[in-house]
């Protein structure tokens, strides 16, 4: 028998989520309606501004302290030959970010975003989910709590991304456990897996679900058994942002899988989130549809590092400025 005690605080938060500020949302939509332009001519820009107002409580909204948070983790399942990249590539990517030479650094500079990259014990990969739990309950809860600290210091737009060799297979395992099907329904090429490697990925997912059978009815238990540290940290960050009324942009497959855990626990848990970017991974579009997400961008980006979310932040900032700037010229 397992105890749910380490997760009790998170369950309590999920049962007491703050609601959107509908008055702020309505005010933004009214401001756009009064502007000297054709009705709804700005399309989703108007929707983004209204969403931003609803979850920040500011109308017109503003984005002055955006933050890109990237969580990096390693996975024991990589020993099964499910990735063309070595495990060391995760730490190398973190070091490149620290040196300012990664793609995410350049996009953050372009859009004036703060950047934090979190090394989640890369020297200690999680358990091989095909024959062990990724994390114990206390470790998973502690990692979620660590992820909640991403907003420490303040932000008014939180962008979330990941780094982790093998985490597309972990994401597939999470989706399979949460939404059903078999591994083959959810795995894809990831960082360049050929057909034989994709078959191994599917086998690992099926083995993991068989090993953990009977323990996957609780989404938080799913997270700790077949997830990983970056997934737990992202879930914690999403939840912390909701409690502080901070809008969230999600990037890519792994962040979507982490978000799915919260969605299954409470379908309202992601109302403050937008999916910034759709990856080419075949399962991502399916997962996004199940979660009710319509991505802001579809640029074929599968790079990780939160690159899609950082690009999406540029759109959100533009929507906020459009809302506030046009409001100043609204007809009496």
Query: Which residues participate in catalysis according to the annotation?
Result: 305
- DSSP assignment letter at 126: B
Q: In the numeric block, which tokens belong to residue 46? A: 């108007």
69 in helix, strand or coil?
A: strand
Judge contact between 141 and 235, C-beta under 8 A. Answer: no
Provide the 3-class DSSP secondary structure of residue 158: strand
How far is 89 from 247, CA to CA, in rounded Å?
31
Dihedral over alpha carbons 311, 316, 320, 326 (to 10 degrees): 80
Residue 198 sits at φ, ψ, to 5 deg, of -65, -35
What's the maximum distance between 2 C-alpha atoms anywhere in the chain?
67
Q: Read out DSSP for 221-240?
A: HHHHHH--HHHHHHHHHHHH
User: Quick one: tokens of 37?
Assistant: 């332009």
């Amino acid at each position: 028998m397992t105890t749910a005690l380490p997760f009790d605080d998170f369950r309590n938060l999920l049962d007491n989520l703050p609601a959107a500020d509908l008055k702020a949302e309505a005010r933004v939509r009214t401001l756009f309606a009064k502007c000297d332009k054709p009705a709804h001519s700005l399309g989703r820009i108007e929707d983004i501004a209204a969403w931003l107002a609803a979850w920040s409580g500011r109308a017109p909204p503003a984005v002055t302290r955006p933050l890109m948070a990237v969580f990096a983790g390693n996975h024991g399942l990589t020993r099964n030959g499910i990735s063309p990249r070595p495990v060391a590539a995760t730490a190398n990517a973190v070091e490149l970010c620290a040196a300012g030479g990664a793609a995410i650094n350049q996009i953050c500079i372009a859009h004036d975003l703060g950047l934090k990259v979190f090394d989640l014990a890369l020297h200690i990969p999680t358990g091989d989910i095909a024959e062990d739990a990724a994390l114990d309950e206390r470790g998973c809860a502690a990692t979620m709590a660590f992820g909640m600290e991403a907003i420490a210091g303040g932000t008014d737009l939180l962008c979330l991304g990941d780094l982790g060799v093998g985490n597309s297979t972990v994401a597939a395992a999470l989706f399979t456990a949460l939404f059903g099907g078999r591994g083959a329904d959810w795995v894809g090429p990831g960082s360049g897996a050929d057909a034989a490697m994709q078959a191994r990925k599917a086998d690992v997912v099926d083995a993991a679900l068989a090993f953990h059978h009977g323990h996957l009815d609780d989404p938080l238990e799913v997270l700790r058994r077949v997830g990983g540290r970056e997934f737990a940290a992202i879930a914690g960050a999403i939840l912390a942002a909701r409690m502080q009324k901070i809008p969230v942009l999600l990037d890519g497959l792994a962040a979507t899988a982490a978000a799915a855990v919260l969605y299954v626990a409470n379908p309202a848990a992601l109302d403050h989130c937008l999916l910034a970017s759709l990856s080419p991974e075949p399962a991502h579009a399916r997962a996004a549809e199940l979660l009710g997400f319509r991505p802001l961008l579809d640029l074929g980006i599968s790079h990780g590092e939160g690159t899609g979310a950082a690009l999406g932040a540029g759109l959100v900032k533009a929507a906020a400025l459009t809302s506030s700037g046009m409001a100043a010229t609204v007809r009496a």
